[in-house]
Structure 1
Amino acid sequence: MSTPASTPASTVLRPQRNRDTAFFWEGTALGELRVQTCNACGALRHPPGPSCPDCLALDRGHVVVSGRGSVFSYVVHRYPPVPGKELPILIALVELEEGPRMLGELVGVAHDEVEIGMAVRVDLHRVDDDLTLPTWRRA
């Protein structure tokens, strides 16, 4: 599930890590795609946050999801420049088989080949020892 780093780590925009997102980034480093779950009502959510949007409970956990889904929406990012990236970049909103939606870069697909509903799978891209980013590929 992991690809070798091809972009210098110093040029990649780094995501914010905090107590709400730590489990997610720990999971990507281990080769897992994790989604937050509410231990009170079982709702899944992404992005993670401090409380459940369904029942407002603060009792959070996480589950490892399949990493399979479909393109719900996408955009071809042409401007402004993004440090460490060559434009254009395909950004997809992926609806996971388990339900939540996750935003990420769609790689290995030409921008004119993307279709809503296209099956995709996660590909964990190891940038360096401290960062592994989820990207998406055609399934």
Structure 2
Amino acid sequence: MNWYVIIPMIISFIVVFLIGVYASRRVQATAHNKFLQEYFLGGRELGGLLLAMTMIATYGSASSFIGGPGIAYNMGLGWVLLSAIQVVTGYIVLTVIGKKFAIIARKMEAITLIDYLKGRYNNKAVVILSALCIIIFLFSGFWCKNSGI
């Protein structure tokens, strides 16, 4: 056995375990919904610049660097313009629709889109249908990204 490798590994396991115990106690001390809002939404205090950078990072994927140029070459200028319109669409979504959505979601304390729809419509069929749509289109998007489309 090589103790020069095993001892640092055991120490790092103990440190990670202690960090986990500390974080678990801190989470248990706060309300469950408050923790989820802090974790998933950044306490609802993140600015528009960070949101815009997140959208740009999401768009900058395999489809925009690998598949996008090839499709633009095959399809022509129309595909390039279709990609360019996403900037305008993102701006409209963030400024017009996103602001209204954020105000209502903050009042309802909704964390996800499903929480928002559940609070807004109070209809189980809408919630199930929207969850299924999200799952189907999420995996369709994964397939497209994986194939470089």
TM-score by length of 1: 0.21
Which structure has the bigger radius of gyration? 2
Structure having the higher helix fraction is 2
TM-score by length of 2: 0.20
